[in-house]
Structure 1
Amino acid sequence: MSEVSEAKVRLAAVNTNPASYRDLLRIVIVGHVDHGKSTLVGRMFHDTGSLPDGKYESIKAMCERRGVPFEWAFLMDALQAERDQGITIDTSQIWFKTEARDYTIIDAPGHKEFLKNMITGAAQSDAALLIIDAAEGVREQSRRHGYLLHLLGIRQVAVAVNKMDLINYEKDQFDLIEQEYRDYLTSIGVTPTFVIPVSARQGDNIVNQTGAMPWYKGPTIVKALDSFLPAASPVDRPLRFPVQDVYKFDHRRIIAGRIEEGRLAVGDELVFSPSNKTARVKSIEYWSTVPGKQAPTEGVAGESIGITLDEQIFVERGELVSHAENPPIETDVFRARIFWLGHEPLVKGKSYRIKLGTLEAPVTVQSIESIVDTSDLSNSSSHQVERNQVAEIVIRARRMLALDEFTKAPKSGRFVLIDKYDIAGGGIISMEGYADQRDLITSRSTNITRVEHGITNEARAFRNGHKGGVLWFTGLSGAGKSTLAVALEKKLFEKGYNVFVLDGDNVRHGLNANLSFSPEDRAENIRRVGEVSALFARAGMIAITSFISPYRSDRDRARAAAEADFHEIYVKADVATCEARDPKGLYKKARAGEIKDFTGISAPYEEPESAELTVDTAITPIDEAVEKLVNYVEMKFKV
């Protein structure tokens, strides 16, 4: 049943009899093929009286007509293909109830070929019941399913060790499975609340305690599920309203979509991201309204609505609407943990399309940080991700994206990648090591007019004997940026150039003394330096900047500020070379954990894609590198 259908049923119940409202919890059932998921659910439905009248009898009669033994799984397996093959192919969503609450049970396929369906089911769930065969024990697929639950943010997990009757209800075997799987789940950040020995076929510990396992003192499956907590109401979260479309009716422009989280009301000031346009809600439009009934003044999570604004601004499908005080992140690069399901491997450098809410945009896999082996959690490196592998990657877009970190906003912190026309992978978003670029691209100044100088750039160049410009040195700490910058400044000064070095440490003593080393403040540090160095260039001077400036987007902004006067100089040296030099002892501190987010160790460095000049200090002596730089300046700046 869809979320919309569920919402209608719940709303109808409340409107008819408010006292009859009960909690609803969505539970996904996962496990290795043939470990007994459908059997367990079928038995649970029967033993709690949740089956429709006559369902059990009709299935039993069908088995008799076919001459096959009755299976509890037949109560769940609705597709003929599933009965013939003996496996669950699609996710089945059905209602289930206990004395405590109502449930939507999502029976997800466990077969390796149908993992995409399993992920779809798990993504809709508040908690999980994971099935393990007592006779077979913990399998690779069991670990993979556990990891996927972790990947999708499901933290309430009960484990049912099924088919205990096949091992004569032996406690020792159960204890071994429990310890092995608890250790695995704990290692990936999932703490199973319960591990329960059961026999779905015999009904042991499903609804009622069993005499077959007197050594087990914990709850039954039903009691365990009843102890789980429903997810926090999405209505209470910050507003996230993806724009589905914009319609024109008479003189109105109606912005339509589904409120995923939060609420909005007439009069609210909204921010549209990533365009950063703002406007107030003039009215809320519903598709089905009762004639004569007053128009609604509020919309909440789960509702599909339209809104009109107090001013005509251009917005389009894919924008993410929020309130100004809690906007989403804006960035063109982020980290992701992804599960790949494509028929072809995910490849570094290849372009795909990302789907974030209602937005689709081209992106490129900038790097594959590691491949995660879900069986033992070991990491390995590769230039591609194979089908059914989990990987940590960095994704770069050609435009700004509005998104959230998964841990803070699960709905807008998930995405899928499309390869050609197929959904080939899904993942969750992390901004670890990367900055929210919203403040860097938002202009808050008004009534500003640029002063026009009475001296042209050509006149300054004629007076100085050279053009102004920015030599932007970028590279890892220890690559030799400051050494080269100071040596180049001295050589150029001796040749009559007006030149000045802006160095990271010096700038942070004054202009940027109020900035920390967080990703956002590091980005702001570079933004300010980019603007100042551009002013130097317009004054006819050569500004040499010596900054790690690890993010391409920051360097792109500096280039935009100086325009044609910007020259990116990549001072290249690998991490091993820089760490061997370690002139300030920073690598040693970073390895010891004393410096957080240290570039090249615990924070990313994005190499230039098309620098005007590259100087590899790992293989080039300082004197030779300086000479190369002087020659470049005289070729590009001399008039």
Structure 2
Amino acid sequence: MTNGNIRDFLKIVFVGHVDHGKSTLVGRIFHDTDSLPEGKVESIRRMCERRGMPMEYAFLLDALQAERDQGITIDTTQIWFKSARRDYVIIDAPGHKEFLKNMITGAASADAAILVIDAKEGVQEQSRRHGYLLHLMGVPQVTVCVNKMDLVGYSQDRFDAIEREIRGYLQSIGVSPDHVIPVSGREGDLIVGPSASMPWYPGPSVVDALDGFRVPAPATDQPLRFPVQDVYKFDDRRIIAGRIESGTLRVGDTLLFSPTNKTVRVKSIEAWNAPAPPMKASAGQSVGITLDEQIFVERGHVASHESHPPIETDVFRAHVFWLGREPLKTGKTYRMKLANTEAPVTVQSIDNVIDTGDLSQRAGATVERNAVAEITVRSRKMLALDEFRDNQKTGRFVLIDGYDISGGGIVSMEGYADQRQMITRRASNITQVMHDITDADRARRNGHKGGVLWFTGLSGAGKSTLAVATERRLFDLGYQVYVLDGDNVRFGLNADLGFSPEDRAENIRRVGEVAALMARAGLIVITAFISPYRSDRDRARQAAGHDFHEIFIQADVATCEARDPKGLYQKARAGEIKEFTGVSAPYEAPDAPELSVDTAALPVDACLDKLMAYVEETFTRTR
């Protein structure tokens, strides 16, 4: 569709198994729409005659001599193309397994895709892999071309069988193809119009299908994301430079910089080779801005409007495609690049390795080359990012192993909380009150030090049982002790919180602060909370300082589910509880707890004895 002299623009990637005819199909589209430079077809025809081969339309695109010699596409080829309706960039991506990295590069920037399948060979493993990658990369629109129909006698039965198979597979991964079209790139059937050889097909031609793709909403309609590329100093000005990935910023706007959570106003927008300083800038523009006050800003920080900030987190789930020479490994640290951010990240867990052929899933400690997996990634610093479904520009990343780009992935926050609220301090003009009574004074009065025994573990592991029993024993021995239990706290202090990842994180933040205050008052505070996220427990440790003791009440999911004292696992398996730790939400076991108590291996009395021995050793009585 056109608007005055402005035409729609779309980027289309062509993918498929090697030798299924992608380049031939694209070359034929250019030929049949008269989109080629004068003399191009004749030069290719003469070259084919010299080599003693029939006319090869793929050579209209292949720019590398190595491709002509080997008959495969090695790098992505991008060529402008115009139909009567709109302008296109057609990306011809490689289909060979060894060049999947280039295929991903091509798909990453595409608005829509054509998946090409050989009518004679049918749906291959690589066809499924490419379909899954299109889904993984978030390509929103897909049409399938069943090519080389001339080689199967234009058989409707053969086409129908392939259409059923590929539609079934794509729909199983959440992709609904707009069309499945029978074509012959070599003979020109259904490229720009109907085919006399396939009167049984009532649908659109390939060019009609291209023109039917929807133009995506402009990035200017999305929330502002301005990743900082660098900070330059000119005279007395500090210019924050970068490329606006989405949204629009204006002079006078109040910007929030993440992950520092500092706010400041835009004083001016600096543009290169502009007759006058602009008053606004939008997605796709590289600009510099000056601020009305000096704050710390560095490369990788992300500016947004306060009303729609990015997520702040140090842990997230990811769907990754691994291309490294060495397998992706649990516990290994890689360098992550997301927008302008670079950070060391560790693979905390490999949650599922996915077979792109039959979509089966398995657990594993490694991900081999060309495999797809769902993993959990932990960063050493707080990151500003978005879920891929909300913003592709700031929800897509690559992993670098050594000096090689070895994997690509997209961000999912499923089961994890946006930590922005937990790390933002809103109060100002506050001063801490210093007590006249010291910790040593309280310890002498009570006969022991104060502290927090933070029991963490799955539901059903025995946290509450052991917490109450430990409290009883300590109380009988004269200790000042109190239990903060998860369910009890939710009746009062945290009655306003639900069970979303954000509410769970806030629940633990509040408990951690209360427990720290009680410990400073000289009490031994025992908390019994699942507290599934390491970052939340780390904040509780930070609140209590050296008085914090993480106690891992350890039991596997099968043991806890067999106990199921509150019937929660049964409800979770039935789908009645959506975010249940260990079933539909993650649990991050402690890395190095002060004490582990295995309730699956030890009886209650033995577990209790172990806890008492730790308390008596750690909280030495002073009277």
TM over 0.5: yes
Paired residue for 1:112, among 97, 115, 118?
Answer: 97
Q: CA RMSD in A?
A: 1.0
Q: 1:68 and 1:181 mapped to 2: Cα distance?
A: 32
Once the two structures are superposed, what CA deviation does each residue of 1:124-173 show, in whole Å capped at 9, x if it has no partner? 10000111000101100000000000101113111111111111101100
Once the two structures are superposed, what CA deviation does each residue of 1:215-272 show, in whole Å capped at 9, x if it has no partner? 1111100001101101110011000111000011110000100001001000111111
Q: 2:311 and 2:383 mapped to 1: Cα distance?
A: 8
Paired residue for 2:551, among 569, 585, 590?
Answer: 569
Equivalent in the alignment of 1:499: 481
Amino acid at match of 1:339: F
For residue 55 of structure 1, report the CA deviation from its aligned partner. Answer: 1.6
1:277 aligns with 2:262: yes
Q: 2:397 and 2:104 mapped to 1: Cα distance?
A: 13
Q: Normalising by the residue count of structure 2, what TM-score does the alignment of the two structures yield?
A: 0.98
2:517 partner SS: helix
Equivalent in the alignment of 1:550: 532
Equivalent in the alignment of 1:414: 396
1:509 partner SS: coil
1:198 aligns with 2:180: no
Q: 2:564 and 2:272 mapped to 1: Cα distance?
A: 65
1:75 aligns with 2:60: yes
2:245 partner SS: coil
Equivalent in the alignment of 1:43: 28
For residue 54 of structure 1, report the CA deviation from its aligned partner. Answer: 2.0
Amino acid at match of 1:441: I
1:607 aligns with 2:563: no
Amino acid at match of 2:260: S
Amino acid at match of 2:249: L
Amino acid at match of 2:594: E
Q: 1:296 and 1:134 mapped to 2: Cα distance?
A: 55
Once the two structures are superposed, what CA deviation does each residue of 1:285-316 show, in whole Å capped at 9, x if it has no partner? 112223xxx31010100000000000011110
* Equivalence map 1:210-359=2 (5 Å): 210-290=195-275, 294-359=276-341
Q: 2:53 and 2:496 mapped to 1: Cα distance?
A: 77
2:184 partner SS: coil
For residue 64 of structure 1, report the CA deviation from its aligned partner. Answer: 3.6
Equivalent in the alignment of 1:167: 152
Once the two structures are superposed, what CA deviation does each residue of 1:339-388 show, in whole Å capped at 9, x if it has no partner? 00000000000000111101110000000011100001001121100000
Paired residue for 1:98, among 83, 107, 112?
Answer: 83
Paired residue for 2:143, among 138, 158, 161?
Answer: 158
Once the two structures are superposed, what CA deviation does each residue of 1:377-417 show, in whole Å capped at 9, x if it has no partner? 00112110000000010001111111111111111111110
For residue 69 of structure 1, report the CA deviation from its aligned partner. Answer: 2.9
Whether the 8 Å contact between 1:155 and 1:191 is mirrored in structure 2 is: no
1:22 aligns with 2:10: no
For residue 633 of structure 1, report the CA deviation from its aligned partner. Answer: 1.1
Amino acid at match of 1:552: R
Equivalent in the alignment of 2:418: 436
Amino acid at match of 2:87: D
Equivalent in the alignment of 1:182: 167
Whether the 8 Å contact between 1:89 and 1:109 is mirrored in structure 2 is: yes
Paired residue for 2:451, among 469, 490, 498?
Answer: 469
Paired residue for 1:365, among 347, 370, 374?
Answer: 347
* Equivalence map 1:389-538=2 (5 Å): 389-538=371-520
Q: 1:301 and 1:54 mapped to 2: Cα distance?
A: 39
For residue 57 of structure 1, report the CA deviation from its aligned partner. Answer: 2.1
Paired residue for 1:61, among 28, 46, 55?
Answer: 46
Q: 2:286 and 2:37 mapped to 1: Cα distance?
A: 32
Whether the 8 Å contact between 1:271 and 1:327 is mirrored in structure 2 is: yes
Equivalent in the alignment of 1:629: 611
Equivalent in the alignment of 1:581: 563
Q: 2:579 and 2:161 mapped to 1: Cα distance?
A: 40
For residue 65 of structure 1, report the CA deviation from its aligned partner. Answer: 4.3
Amino acid at match of 1:27: I
2:586 partner SS: coil
2:113 partner SS: strand
Q: 1:485 and 1:433 mapped to 2: Cα distance?
A: 27
1:331 partner SS: strand
Q: 2:615 and 2:274 mapped to 1: Cα distance?
A: 70
1:283 partner SS: strand
Equivalent in the alignment of 1:3: none
Once the two structures are superposed, what CA deviation does each residue of 1:433-458 show, in whole Å capped at 9, x if it has no partner? 10000000000010110011111111
Whether the 8 Å contact between 1:573 and 1:618 is mirrored in structure 2 is: yes
Amino acid at match of 1:36: G
Q: 2:468 and 2:4 mapped to 1: Cα distance?
A: 77
For residue 70 of structure 1, report the CA deviation from its aligned partner. Answer: 2.1
Decide which moves more: 18-27 or 65-74: 65-74
Amino acid at match of 2:443: A
Amino acid at match of 2:162: I
1:58 partner SS: helix
Q: 1:371 and 1:99 mapped to 2: Cα distance?
A: 44
Q: 2:38 and 2:227 mapped to 1: Cα distance?
A: 42
For residue 66 of structure 1, report the CA deviation from its aligned partner. Answer: 4.4
1:360 partner SS: strand
For residue 60 of structure 1, report the CA deviation from its aligned partner. Answer: 2.1
Whether the 8 Å contact between 1:373 and 1:390 is mirrored in structure 2 is: yes
2:490 partner SS: helix
2:150 partner SS: helix
Q: 1:43 and 1:271 mapped to 2: Cα distance?
A: 50
Q: 1:65 and 1:186 mapped to 2: Cα distance?
A: 46
Amino acid at match of 1:608: P
Q: 2:375 and 2:602 mapped to 1: Cα distance?
A: 32
2:263 partner SS: strand
Amino acid at match of 2:374: E
Paired residue for 2:523, among 531, 541, 559?
Answer: 541
Q: Normalising by the residue count of structure 1, what TM-score does the alignment of the two structures yield?
A: 0.96
Amino acid at match of 1:79: L
1:272 partner SS: strand
For residue 58 of structure 1, report the CA deviation from its aligned partner. Answer: 2.3
Identity %: 71
For residue 67 of structure 1, report the CA deviation from its aligned partner. Answer: 4.3
Q: 2:243 and 2:473 mapped to 1: Cα distance?
A: 62
